[in-house]
Amino acid sequence: MTQPKILVTRKLTDPVERRLAESFDATFNPDDRPLSPEALADALRSHDALVPTVSDRITAAMLRAEGCRVRMIANVGVGYSNIDIAAAEAAGIAVSNTPDVLTDATADIAMLLILSATRRAFAAEKMLREGRWGGFSVVDGLGTGLQGKVLGIIGMGRIGRATARRAAAGFGMQIVYYNRSPVEDPGVEARRLESIGDVMAAADVVSVHVPGGGAAPLVTAEHITRMKPSAHLVNTARGDSIDQAALIEALVQGRIAGAGLDVFAEEPAVPEALRALETVTLLPHIGSATQEVRTAMGHLAADNLDAFFAGETLPCRVV
């Protein structure tokens, strides 16, 4: 029996690649370099399934193109804003993702960014590495503590709830949140507010956990103007979940105290204005970057592929 022909767009961990090689006629990317739009379009015409990551933009034009052969896209990532879902559904192409397995790792990074931003860790480390540290001071480089402060969660899904648990149990923070749908059990004592703007105004730290990929950011410029001058914003969701230009303007003008970002609007490009700010901690999209989690994500993508080609229900079907 002929094995389905699949293309894996980026390098995956060794156990996952071995599994895929055994089950499919698989082509891998040993150099781990992002494919060009032209290469992605060609792959859609020449393979039965695609295994992309959130860095691979699969457009409506690609999916509607004549000769598109792919019937399954097993995205390696909890998000899928890199894929035009409406076009995939119209073309009868199944799409899956890899939720759940990265919840704790991403919540850990959210807390790392919250701590780094509020304690001004980047500015302190930069001063030390550049040889500008003059020794211990009682008054220099002061940050703010988290105990008793208000953490605002935008998007109380799995990762939002995991972040709230860490902040409440580990640091004594009070939790407020906004979620579009009711949350039956937030997992901690938490107060639901009526809007994103209400959370932005109430919080000392705002942590964003909503999807991106919409026509406009869910966290807008107007929302950012509601933040306290002493507040910090953290984003581990998607770069286009927030109005990045408005955030940069607020930071440059000192209208908010700082930020911690693991994701950016046009990755891998990071605006120079952000990179120049000592009030911002920047990470290169490492929310799920542990050996255990990245392997689990790959295996879950493989589970979805196995189910699709066996004619079974996909474990994590998007469309």
Per-residue pLDDT of 220-233, as tens digits, reads 999 999 999 999 99
Bridge partners of residue 206, in order along the sequence: 152, 233
Q: Per-residue pLDDT averaged across 154-177, rounded?
A: 98
For residue 198, the domain's CATH number is: 3.40.50.720
Q: Which two tokens stand for residue 84?
A: 């035009």
Phi, psi of 178 (to 5 degrees): -125, 135
User: pLDDT band at residue 35, thresholds of 50, 70 and 90?
Assistant: very high
SS3 for 98?
Answer: coil
Bridge partners of residue 319, in order along the sequence: none
Verify that 89 and 193 share a domain, yes or no. Answer: no
- Residue 314 located in a structural domain: no
Query: From CA 242, how far away is CA 221, in angstroms rounded?
Result: 8
Verify that 108 and 175 share a domain, yes or no. Answer: yes
Verify that 186 and 60 share a domain, yes or no. Answer: no
Verify that 220 and 123 share a domain, yes or no. Answer: yes
Verify that 216 and 272 share a domain, yes or no. Answer: yes
Q: Which two tokens stand for residue 268?
A: 């891998």
Verify that 18 and 149 share a domain, yes or no. Answer: no
Verify that 112 and 25 share a domain, yes or no. Answer: no
Q: Give the DSSP letter string of 214-243.
A: SSS-SB-HHHHHTS-TT-EEEE-S-GGGB-
Nearest to 73 by CA among 97, 91, 42: 97
- Residue 10 located in a structural domain: yes
Query: From CA 213, how far away is CA 197, in angstroms rounded?
Result: 20
Query: From CA 2, how far away is CA 23, in angstroms rounded?
Result: 11
- Residue 316 located in a structural domain: no
- Residue 319 located in a structural domain: no
Looking at the structure of the chain, the number of domains it has is 2
Over pLDDT 90: what percentage of the chain?
A: 97
Tell how strand 280-282 and strand 205-208 pair up: unpaired
User: pLDDT band at residue 212, thresholds of 50, 70 and 90?
Assistant: confident
Verify that 158 and 268 share a domain, yes or no. Answer: yes
**In this predicted structure, what is the pLDDT of residue 214?**
81
- 177 Cα distance to chain centroid: 18
- Residue 182 located in a structural domain: yes
Q: How many CB atoms lie within 10 A of CB 3?
A: 13
Q: Per-residue pLDDT averaged across 291-306, rounded?
A: 98
- Residue 318 located in a structural domain: no
- Residue 172 Rama label (left phi>0; alpha psi -120 to 50; beta): left
Verify that 179 and 85 share a domain, yes or no. Answer: no
Verify that 144 and 160 share a domain, yes or no. Answer: yes
Verify that 96 and 115 share a domain, yes or no. Answer: no
Q: Give per-residue pLDDT as tens, 45-85.
A: 999 999 999 999 999 999 999 999 999 999 999 989 899 99
User: pLDDT band at residue 213, thresholds of 50, 70 and 90?
Assistant: confident
Verify that 153 and 267 share a domain, yes or no. Answer: yes
- Residue 315 located in a structural domain: no
Task: Tell me how far CA of residue 118 lies from CA of 60, 124, 147, 302, in angstroms.
Answer: 41, 12, 12, 40
Which residue numbers are catalytic?
238, 267, 285
The overall average pLDDT reported for the chain is: 97
Query: From CA 79, how far away is CA 97, in angstroms rounded?
Result: 7
For 57, the domain range is 5-101+291-309
**96 near 301, Cβ under 8 Å?**
yes
